[in-house]
């Protein structure tokens, strides 16, 4: 059996402790000096953490170091998640065992074993026998003792100081400002495991190189145009790590479009749903762009993705998906609205 090892810190375009609010999944924030000095921002971040905590039932602690600093043009926030690698079958079997007692997650038992797995990669790339997960995601799957082996921190999140944020959305979001709570909740979603290896492929393609690629848990549900229609085709179906073209999250019963790469794909990081301004369909909080004066909550699509990659989801009524308008992570113009990447 392969030894669990720490790989690179995954990055997406926090020592005072601010503890969670008593949910089974306890998200603890360790704010840096700038964030600690901004009580409104820290409270908003905690509300974002609680929005995840109340939806998840895994009895674990997720620790996030967070701060505020000047970031790149159009970038609202970035996440560096601690990422671990382990043998593919080891992670796959954890996912299957975790889902075994969960109604509606029978499809997870049909995940391909290493000998059954088929993945479409660009020419020159190879597939690693290991699989990558965020440390938080691996905890949710049931792997114990990770904090003792790799330290308590699960991620670092940095919010930009270059934008006007509204830290209290209870009365709406001011015109020209961005909802801090929405941005924080989105970044936490990456910490929890909404990540695709397609972003690694995309990077290497952009610099004209190839590499050995490790799948992430979410990639086991990532397909091209030929999505599975039953359990058998879900097992034998070819997972797609290609940039560009069509890419979908599919668990047989649900199918949602995914982004395909910032550099050689559709212009958005692949670790996101397809941007709603490209399709006219808003899928969930893990959309890559955010617009100003809008509050966005976690949707059923978001929760379904986390459910099948190892998180125990609490069945709570969810608000309907709302259109996400904003200026956030990288500026894009869509009609009269200014949008930014998250």
- Domain boundaries along the sequence of the chain: 5-341
Q: By percentage, how much of the chain surpasses pLDDT 90? A: 82
Could you tell me the strand order of the sheet in which 289-291 lies? 289-291, 337-341, 332-334
Q: 157: pLDDT confidence band, cut at 50, 70 and 90?
A: very high
Query: What integer pLDDT is reported at residue 13 of this predicted model?
Result: 44
pTM (predicted TM-score): 0.89
* pLDDT at residue 205 greater than cutoff 50: yes
Residues 286-342: tens digit of each pLDDT: 999 998 999 889 999 999 999 999 999 987 554 443 322 222 233 222 222 334 566
pLDDT, mean of residues 158-180: 96
Integer Cα distance of 285 and 183 in angstroms:
9
Residue 144's DSSP bridge partners are: none
- Cβ pair 256, 283 in contact under 8 A: yes
Residues 14-68: tens digit of each pLDDT: 233 444 557 899 999 999 999 999 999 999 999 999 999 999 999 999 999 999 9
* pLDDT at residue 191 greater than cutoff 90: yes
Bridge pairing between strands 239-240 and 119-120: parallel
Which residues, in sequence order, are CB contacts of 152 under 8 Å at separation 6+? 63
């Amino acid at each position: 059996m392969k030894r669990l090892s720490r790989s690179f810190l995954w990055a997406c375009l926090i020592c005072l402790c601010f503890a969670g609010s008593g949910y089974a999944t306890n998200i603890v924030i360790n704010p840096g000096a700038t964030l600690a000095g901004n009580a409104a921002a820290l409270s908003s971040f905690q509300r974002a953490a609680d929005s995840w905590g109340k939806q998840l039932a895994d009895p674990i602690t997720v620790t996030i170091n967070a701060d505020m600093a000047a970031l790149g043009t159009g970038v609202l926030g970035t996440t560096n998640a601690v990422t671990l690698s382990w043998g593919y079958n080891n992670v796959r079997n954890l996912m299957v065992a975790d889902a075994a007692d969960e109604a509606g997650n029978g499809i997870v038992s049909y995940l391909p074993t290493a000998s059954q797995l088929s993945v479409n990669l660009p020419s020159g790339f190879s597939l690693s026998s290991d699989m990558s997960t965020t440390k938080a995601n691996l905890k949710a799957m049931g792997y114990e003792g990770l904090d003792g082996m790799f330290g308590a921190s699960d991620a670092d999140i940095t919010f930009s100081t270059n934008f006007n944020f509204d830290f209290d959305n209870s009365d709406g979001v001011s015109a020209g400002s961005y909802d801090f709570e929405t941005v924080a909740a989105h970044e936490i979603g990456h910490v929890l495991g909404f990540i695709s290896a397609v972003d690694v492929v995309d990077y290497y393609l952009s610099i004209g190189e190839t590499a050995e690629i490790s799948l992430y848990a979410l990639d086991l549900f990532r397909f091209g145009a030929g999505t599975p229609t039953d359990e058998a085709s879900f097992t034998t179906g070819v997972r797609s790590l290609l940039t560009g073209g069509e890419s979908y999250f599919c668990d047989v019963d649900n199918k949602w479009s995914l982004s395909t790469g910032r550099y050689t794909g559709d212009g958005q990081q692949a670790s996101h749903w397809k941007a709603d301004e490209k399709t006219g369909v808003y899928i969930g909080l893990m959309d890559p762009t955010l617009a100003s004066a809008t509050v966005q909550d976690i949707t059923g699509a978001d929760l379904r993705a986390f459910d099948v990659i190892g998180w125990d989801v609490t069945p709570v009524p969810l608000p309907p998906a709302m259109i996400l308008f904003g200026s956030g992570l990288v500026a894009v113009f869509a009609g009269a609205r200014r949008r930014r990447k998250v």
